[in-house]
Amino acid sequence: MALPSRRSVVSLLCASALLVGCTISETQVPEADFFSARTKARIYALDGKTFEVVPPIGAEAPSYWCAASEFARRELGADWSQMLYVKTGRAPSVVTGRIEAITFTLNEVPRDTPQPLIRRSFTYKPGDSASVSVADASCRDLEPFYYF
């Protein structure tokens, strides 16, 4: 009785591993529904006026406000003058478990400290706010700048 060649055994093992790797485990939980913003951030609705922005890894700071304004406008029907508030600053996502997400809301959130006279554009402390229009303007900070 002839033994199978080493090459045929390796080929069979590789094919088996490939097939096993391609199957989906039935224990996997389906991913929650999300809104995909132009910044490639995923936005998960938490309740009527509260949502979580989970940007891609390595996203720039303006992408949070940009994605929040787009979701508020398109999905929640917010007016351009509607205020967006940071409910929870940079923290692990409650939906996906990613290490960095920000929860925004259309409901007013009180600040722990008074608003400073000179305001930073991209802060994410609870109570920080911007109108949908101002938040949408942060999308321009993400566009490439071309030198001619």
CB atoms within 10 A of CB 60: 13
36: number of CA atoms within 13 Å, CB side? 2
Distance CA 104, CA 109 (A): 10
Q: Tell me the pLDDT tens digit for each residue of 16-63.
A: 555 555 444 434 444 568 877 888 888 999 988 999 999 988 888 889
Are the C-beta atoms of 139 and 71 separated by less than 8 Å?
no
CA distances from 132 to 13, 27, 93, 135, 136 (A): 56, 40, 22, 5, 6
Q: What is the pLDDT of residue 10?
A: 54
Residue 19 lies in a domain: no
State which residues form the domain around 62.
Answer: 35-141
Whether residue 26 lies inside any domain: the answer is no
Selected residue with higher pLDDT from 17 and 81 = 81
Q: Is residue 20 part of a domain?
A: no
Residue 108: inside a domain? yes
Exposure of 16 by Cβ count < 10 A (0-12 exposed, 13-18 middle, 19+ buried)? exposed
Tokens 């406000």, residue located: 65
Q: What is the pLDDT of residue 51?
A: 95
Extract the tokens encoding 71: 């979701």
**Within-domain flag for 27:** no
The verdict on residue 23 lying in a domain is no
Q: Which pLDDT value is given to residue 142? A: 74
pLDDT digits 0-9 by tens, 97-137: 888 899 999 999 988 877 766 666 667 889 888 999 999 99
Tell me the pTM: 0.71
**Residue 100 to residue 52: CA distance in whole angstroms:** 10
Interatomic CA distance for residues 141 and 67, integer angstroms: 13
Whole-number pLDDT of residue 28 = 42
The verdict on residue 11 lying in a domain is: no
Residue 3 lies in a domain: no
Domain count along the chain? 1
